[in-house]
Structures are given as C-alpha cells and as structure tokens.
C-alpha cells in the first residue's frame, strides 16, 4: 500500500481523497532502498550540500522533490540552508512528516491540546470528559474531518468567553457555550458500524438552543456552532444555509468566516458526496470559487482556497501555473505550499503529459524520470517504460536542446536516458564539454562513462572514472562515490583493481544517522555479488577466494556458493579443497563433510554430496539469469531487482575464455530442476536399499520438509508438472516403511 503526504489545506477540503500513486513519483511505502546509493532520496547529512548545488550523480529514480532542488540549483538558484529548512523535507514530503498517524495521535491532530484546555472549565461546570476522533469516513475511505485549526480556534474562543464575566449568569452562559462546542466536535467522528455493512446516515448532534435572554455573543456563537456541527456531520446544504445566515449577521464576529465556510460547504459536498462524482460537482466548485473571489482581497484563507479549487476544476492548468511560479519567482514564504501542491498534482498526471509539458520545470522532471519504473515491481525494460523514454528523448532533441539555455540542464536528462549507440557525435561532444563547475557535471560524466561501458569502450571509461575520482572524489557524497565505484568495478583492467572498487560505504539516508558512522571495510553492494556469481567461472571464483583484497564479508558466502556449484557440477577437487572451511562453522553436520572426503570418487561421493545438500539448504549455487536477477534452483527470479544493481556488462579484466566458461556454467545452473528434484534420484535410490545408516531416515525427513514452500516466487512449471510432489510422497512412504520407529519418522507427519 502506498501513502503520500498531502498539504493540510488539501486534506481540509478533501480535494484529493484518493491518489493512486507511483512509488517513484513523489513517494510511496514498501520501497527497499539500496543502502549504499539510495535510488529515491538524498542522505539527510548531505542534503544542504545537494540543495546548494553539489548534486553528484542525479538518478532518474529520485523522488520529484529532489529533482526540483536539482533543477533550481542547475538554474543558478541553489537553496540556502534557511530556504531548505523552510521546506521541512521528510523523504518525499514537503512539510512536517506524514499524516499517517494523524488520526490517533492527539498531540499531532490538535485534539489533545483542546481537551487539555477544556478540562479545567469542564470540571468547574461539572461536565463529563469527552473523547474525540478527528477522522470521517465515506465509503470506507477515511479523511480528516476536524483539523487542528478548529481546535485551536475553539480553545482561544473558550478562553475569551470566560473573560466576559464570572459568577451568576456569566458562568451559566459560559457553560452553555462549552456544551455547544462539545456538540460540535461530537460530529467529528464517524458513528460506529460494521465494516462491509451499509454506512448509516449521519444524524447531526446540534448545540442545545440558548434561552431568549442569552447575551448576543452567545447567540452569535451558537449560530456559528450549529453551522459547524452540520458541516462536520456532512449535512452540507444545511451547513451552507446556516453559514450564509451567519455571514449576513452584521453584528456576528463570525461574519467573514461564515461566508468563507459557506463556500467550503460547497467544496466539501462536491468532493465528498458520492466520492466526489456528483453530477453538479464542477458547478458547485465554480460557485464556491466565485464566492471565494469576493472574499479574497481581504481574507488570505480565501485566496489559498481558490488555488485548491482551481486544482480540482483544471488540474493541468493549475500544474502549469504552479510550475511557472516555482520556476520564475524567487523563493518566498509561499514556496513550500506551492511546491507541495505542485508535487501532489503531478502524481495525478501521466508520465507522457509531464514530458510534453510546455513549462520547463515539469518537462525537465518528467524527462529525468522517463525511464524510472512507476511501480516498485515494474520492469524498467517494459514496453510502456521504453515508450516514455523514447518520447522524452525526442522531445528533448526537438524542443529543449535548441533553446539558448539548452546546455547542461537539458543534456543531463538526454545522457541519463540514452542507451548504447543512441547519442550523436555532436551530443556526445556537447555533453563532454559541460564545465566541471556545473551542478550537473558529475551526472553527465557518469552517464558518458556508463554509455562507454555499454558500447565496449571500457578502457576509455576507466581513464575517465579515474580522472573524475581524482579531481572530484573528496567532494563527492557517499552515494555518488559508490555509483562511480560500481562503474569502476566493471572497467577495472585487473582483478586487483576490480577488488579495490568493491568495498562501499553505507549511504546513511535516515535522518540523524552520521554519514561516516560505519567503516567501509568488508561492505559490498549487491552489484558485486551479482557480477561475481554471473560472470566468473568456477576457476576464477577459486582465485578470488585466495585474493587478499576479497572483502571479508564475502568470504563465507563465496565459499558456500563455490562448494554448492562444485557438488552440483561434480567438481570433486574443488569440493575437497573447500571441505574444511565450509564445515568449520557447521558442528552438527561436520561429519557429513568428513564422509565426503572419505568416500570413493564417483557414485559414493555423489551420494555424500547429496547428503550435504539435503542437510544444508543454505548452500546455494547463486544463479543469476540473463536479466541480472537472482534465481534459486529452478525457481522464478526473486522479483525485479533495482536497475542500477544489474550488471549489464562483465568485468573488463576477464578474458574471452573465462567468459565463455562462465556462460557454459551458468547455462548448466539455469537448467537445474528444483533443489529437491536434483537431490531426489540419488537420495531415493540409496534409501530404497534400506542402508543401516542413521543418515538415511534423517535425510528423508529433511527432504520431505524441504519440498514445502521451496519457491516463494513460484516456478515456470505448473504444480502438476513438477515431480517434487511425487518425490515427497515417495520419501515419506520410504521413511515410514523402512524406518518406522525412528524419531525422524515420528517427526514427519505429512508429505505435502
């Protein structure tokens, strides 16, 4: 499930009650960021430098607020620390944090402060405590019904009315006021009902009538309270009529607010009733806008509300207005609100509309993101994504690069989107000529090196990377340095240089974590593992194991992978060389490794290997498919891996013979059946002989157990086509027939 921050003013009128969002647009839940180079955000520790123009490498997958910061810096309008602080960024949010916990944290939604202020007066007048829920519910979709501003205004009014006098009738009138306000806020919550059953019709809880001899202030307040109660109870027509009456009362202190909330009643009815699809929705919004315009010259909230109504009536037009203002106006007090509204509205627009926009800010952000998957599980090579990429490339060349300022600003998305062979010589030269002091310099240079690798010009890319790391390395953020190291790992001319580029520092993206809190030794990114296991043949993997630069954290996983491959491929010499090291941490199964050493070469050793495999399911051959995705013994790949973690090219230092051997081994591994199906023939053939061996019933037990939930992502075969079910049943029957009194048989109650 995805959630996105919406500016409080937007929530207040439910302009955007439901926004189906993309994880890579303004933000989303459930994402798993690369801890060495975040695909989505800038580390908090370097955010001031980023906003100030030290952009490093700018990925297209960054959330849009970071592209906005990059655009401004590239236009010579880098944000100062004070301006950045005014945005109050929290990941993809503009403004303080998320409203996710707004509904149940009283200190955040304002109800707590109101109840605290109310408590003393309530005790004085003998009124019972009340509970508040600020959320409304329409067709099982929640929205914020009562906002913090309402609670603050009520607390101020309550205090002011208490100062009108004390004792006698004054106390009676103040108590009546508080009873009326309690009735107003009782309408904030939704009446309880069973989920799935029809939602009951709301019955407004109105303030009690006041006596004829009540003071004028109480009568005016009671009229306003009645309108507010109707408003929160979703009786919008009645609320509007009552607010209009308040607005027409020249003596009422709520006169201006009454006119404003009469228009707000129209807005809420248009956006909440029938899920905002009422036939006269636009007519109501248009009428509300007209009434707000009359108030706008002297009432700031009305001016702000007009912009939100415009966003509902013409979202594309409003995006254009916001883009122009954000691009052309100096940073000011309104900028955070404008930016928040702009980002929310962009989330409703298709990618193609952004790319085709006439406003430079929108077109630039859309172009930078044109190849970013719009969903966490989306394939970056899908037809839709590639269509958007090609559209953006054409638009960049047709419109933006031809302009006077069409230099580095527009070359950056061009080289970011380009694939091998797609840049013209003129475009390549223009990109190479971007000055070193430009905020997008490292982005352009990184992508030129990336393209050089893809175009088999790795030697040139290696020189360029070394030059850039030497000249800019000290000023690079951790994420940028790691991105360059990932390229260097592919362009390195020797194994030693390859391993020098492997260690990475963590990119501390969480707020409050020191950026240098962890040392770099022994830490590697997933690209190292995928490169090693996909492109290095078994012989080179053994060389890697013996190299002094191998990161310590990779030693044990690499030993296990090499051991698994050796057992699978029948490479007894390699398996024997690793036995002691792999067995060292496995006290309960070390005897199986000793058994392998003692076994005769051939069938006996193959059985010993099968016993090791069935007892140690963590021994994994680490198969990487042609798309760079992890597979497990005939299972489907483990989801879509991040695009920048998929090594598209083998390391340069490997020779043709090594790559050919690695490809042959990979083909063997990719053709493997499921793990249990690989082990079954050897294991079951041996077990049928009823060997007087404690390992037999134990192995049968573990075999049956391992057939369950073997592939969490499924397989390419239908279940009925998989022999593992039959193998499991056969192993179960053998165990109970041949070893009925063993503890392993007692522990194996099912074969499915």
pLDDT per position as a tens digit, 326-379: 999 999 999 999 999 999 999 888 889 999 999 999 999 999 999 987 765 566
Residue 183 maps to a domain: yes
In this structure, are strands 89-90 and 135-138 parallel, antiparallel, or unpaired? Answer: unpaired
Whether 199 and 160 share a structural domain: yes
Residue whose C-alpha is closest to residue 619's, from 558, 662, 574: 558
Q: pLDDT confidence of 178, banded at 50, 70, 90?
A: very high
- Asked which of 120-124, 251-255, 720-724 is least confident by mean pLDDT, the reply is 720-724
Last residue of a domain, one of 639, 672, 705: 672
Lowest mean pLDDT among 107-111, 270-274, 437-441, 517-521: 517-521
Shared domain for 72 and 20, answered yes or no, is yes
pLDDT of residue 311: 87
364 and 260 belong to one structural domain: no
Residue 679 is predicted with a pLDDT of: 95
Query: In which region does residue 690 sit, left (phi positive, over 0), alpha (psi from -120 to 50) or beta (all else)?
Result: left
For the ranges 338-347, 557-566, 622-631, the lowest mean pLDDT is seen at 622-631
Instruction: Specify the pLDDT at position 24.
Output: 46
Whether residue 506 lies inside any domain: the answer is no
- 531 and 474 belong to one structural domain: no
Q: For residues 36 and 59, is the Cβ–Cβ distance under 8 A?
A: no
Q: Let me know: does 322 contact 331? Beta carbons within 8 Å.
A: no
My answer on whether 295 and 344 are in the same domain is: no
Q: Would you state the pLDDT for residue 194?
A: 73
| Structure tokens, 370 | 């044109």
* 555 and 638 inside one domain: yes
Q: How confident is the model at residue 383, as a pLDDT?
A: 85
Mean pLDDT, residues 480-509 = 94
Asked if residue 77 is part of any domain, the answer here is yes
Residue 699 lies in a domain: yes
Q: Which residue has the higher pLDDT, 96 or 417?
A: 417
Domain end point (choices 324, 349, 376): 324
Q: Is residue 556 part of a domain?
A: yes
Domain residue limits at 704? 688-752
Domain membership of residue 517 (yes or no) is no
Q: Are the C-beta atoms of 337 and 308 separated by less than 8 Å?
A: no
With contact defined as beta carbons under 8 Å apart, do 476 and 484 qualify? yes
**Mean pLDDT lowest among 207-211, 403-407, 458-462, 735-739:** 403-407
Residue 174 lies in a domain: yes
pLDDT exceeds cutoff 80 at 519: no
> From CA 444, how far away is CA 19, in angstroms rounded?
34
How confident is residue 539, by pLDDT bands cut at 50, 70 and 90? very high
Among the listed residues 579, 585, 613, 612, the one whose alpha carbon sits nearest the alpha carbon of residue 597 = 579
Q: Examine the fold and report which residue of 672, 702, 733 is the final residue of a domain before the chain moves on.
A: 672
Radius of gyration of the chain (CA): 34
Q: Which of 246-260, 431-445, 637-651 has the lowest mean pLDDT?
A: 637-651
pLDDT at 26 (0 to 100): 55
Q: CA–CA separation, 541 vs 545, rounded Å?
A: 6
Task: Give domain status of residue 660, yes or no.
Answer: yes
User: How many structural domains does the chain have?
Assistant: 4
**pLDDT over threshold 50, residue 20:** no
Query: Distance between CA 589 and CA 76 in Å, rounded?
Result: 64
Burial class (CB in 10 A: 0-12, 13-18, 19+), 213: exposed
Average pLDDT, integer, range 242-259: 96
How would you label 449-459 residue by residue, b for 16+ Cβ within 10 Å and e otherwise?
bbbbbbbeebe
Q: pLDDT band for position 35 (50/70/90)?
A: confident
Token pair of 704 as six digits: 């049956």
Residue 546 has pLDDT above 50, yes or no: yes
pTM score, two decimals?
0.82
Block residue for tokens 């391992």: 706
Measured between alpha carbons, how far is 23 from 237 in angstroms, rounded to an integer? 38
> Do 561 and 653 fall into the same domain?
yes
CB 22 within 8 A of CB 375: yes
The pLDDT confidence band at residue 495, using thresholds 50, 70 and 90, is very high
Same domain, 123 and 91: no
Which pair of tokens denotes residue 506?
């963590």
What letter would DSSP give residue 144?
A: E
Question: Do 336 and 422 sit in the same domain of this protein?
Answer: yes
**What crossing angle do the helices spanning 425-432 and 408-417 adopt, rounded to 10°?**
120
Percentage of the chain surpassing pLDDT 90? 70
**Do residues 316 and 352 both lie within one domain?**
no
Residue 20, SS3? coil
User: Do residues 208 and 186 lie in contact, with contact meaning Cβ atoms separated by under 8 Å?
Assistant: no
Kind and range of the H or E run holding 385? helix 383-395
Q: Kindly state whether residues 283 and 336 are assigned to the same domain.
A: no
Residues 587, 600: one domain?
A: yes
Structure tokens at 250: 């020249």
């Amino acid at each position: 499930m995805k959630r996105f921050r919406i500016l409080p003013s937007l929530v207040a009128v439910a302009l955007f009650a439901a926004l189906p969002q993309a994880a890579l647009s303004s933000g989303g839940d459930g994402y798993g960021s690369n801890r060495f180079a975040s695909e989505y955000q800038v580390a908090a520790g370097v955010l001031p430098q980023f906003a100030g123009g030290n952009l490093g490498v700018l990925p297209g997958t960054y959330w849009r607020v970071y592209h906005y910061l990059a655009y401004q810096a590239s236009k010579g309008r880098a944000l100062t620390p004070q301006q950045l602080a005014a945005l109050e960024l929290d990941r993809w949010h503009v403004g303080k944090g998320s409203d996710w916990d707004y509904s149940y944290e009283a200190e955040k939604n304002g109800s707590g402060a109101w109840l605290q202020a109310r408590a003393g007066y309530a005790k004085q007048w003998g009124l019972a405590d009340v509970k508040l829920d600020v959320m409304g519910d329409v067709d099982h979709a929640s929205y914020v019904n009562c906002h913090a501003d309402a609670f603050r205004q009520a607390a101020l009014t309550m205090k002011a009315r208490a100062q009108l006098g004390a004792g006698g009738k004054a106390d009676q009138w103040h108590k009546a006021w508080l009873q009326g306000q309690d009735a107003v806020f009782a309408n904030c919550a939704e009446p309880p009902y069973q989920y799935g059953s029809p939602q009951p019709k709301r019955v407004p809880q109105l303030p009690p009538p006041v006596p004829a001899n009540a003071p004028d202030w109480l009568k005016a307040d009671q009229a306003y309270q009645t309108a507010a109660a109707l408003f929160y109870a979703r009786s919008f027509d009645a609320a509007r009529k009552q607010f209009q009456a308040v607005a027409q009362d020249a003596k009422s202190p709520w006169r201006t607010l009454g006119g404003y909330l009469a228009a707000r009643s129209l807005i809420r009815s248009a956006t909440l009733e029938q899920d905002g699809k009422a036939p006269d929705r636009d007519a109501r919004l248009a009428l509300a806008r007209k009434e707000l315009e009359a108030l706008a010259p002297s009432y700031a909230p009305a001016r702000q509300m007009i912009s939100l109504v415009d966003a509902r009536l013409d979202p594309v037009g409003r995006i254009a207005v916001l883009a122009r203002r954000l691009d052309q106006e100096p940073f000011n007090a309104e900028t955070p609100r404008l930016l928040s509204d702009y980002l929310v509205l962009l989330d409703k627009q298709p990618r193609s509309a952004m790319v085709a926009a006439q406003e430079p800010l929108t077109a630039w952000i859309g172009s930078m993101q044109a190849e970013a998957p719009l969903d966490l599980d989306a394939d970056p090579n899908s037809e839709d994504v590639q269509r958007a990429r090609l559209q953006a490339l054409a638009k960049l060349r047709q419109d933006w690069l031809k302009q006077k300022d069409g230099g580095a600003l527009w070359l950056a998305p061009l080289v970011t989107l380009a694939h091998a062979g797609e840049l013209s010589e003129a475009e390549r030269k223009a990109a190479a000529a971007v000055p070193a002091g430009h905020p997008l310099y490292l982005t352009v240079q990184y992508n030129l090196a990336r393209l050089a690798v893809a175009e088999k010009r790795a030697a040139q890319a290696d020189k360029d990377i070394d030059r850039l790391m030497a000249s800019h390395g000290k000023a690079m953020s951790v994420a940028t340095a790691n991105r360059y190291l990932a390229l260097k790992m592919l362009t390195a001319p020797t194994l030693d240089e390859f391993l020098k580029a492997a260690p990475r520092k963590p990119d501390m993206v969480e707020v409050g974590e020191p950026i240098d809190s962890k040392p770099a030794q022994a830490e590697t990114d997933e690209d190292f593992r995928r490169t090693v296991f996909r492109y290095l043949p078994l012989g080179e993997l053994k060389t890697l194991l013996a190299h002094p630069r191998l990161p310590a954290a990779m030693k044990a996983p690499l030993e296990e992978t090499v051991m698994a491959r050796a057992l699978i491929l029948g490479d007894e010499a390699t398996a024997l060389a690793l036995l002691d090291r792999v067995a060292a941490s496995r006290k309960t199964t070390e005897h199986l490794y000793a058994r392998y050493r003692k076994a005769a070469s051939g069938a006996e050793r193959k059985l010993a290997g099968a016993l090791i495999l069935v007892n140690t399911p963590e021994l994994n051959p680490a198969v990487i498919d042609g798309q760079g995705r992890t597979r497990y013994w005939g299972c489907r790949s483990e989801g879509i891996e991040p695009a920048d973690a998929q090594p598209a090219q083998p390391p340069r230092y490997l020779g043709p013979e090594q790559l050919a051997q690695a490809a042959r081994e990979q083909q063997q591994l990719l053709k493997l059946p499921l793990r249990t199906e690989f082990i079954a023939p050897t294991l079951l053939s041996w077990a049928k002989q009823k060997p007087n061996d404690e390992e037999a019933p134990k192995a049968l037990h573990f075999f049956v157990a391992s057939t369950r939930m073997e592939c969490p992502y499924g397989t390419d075969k239908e279940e009925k086509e998989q022999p593992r079910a039959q193998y499991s049943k056969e192993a179960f029957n053998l165990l109970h027939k041949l070893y009925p009194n063993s503890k392993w048989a007692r522990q194996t109650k099912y074969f499915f």
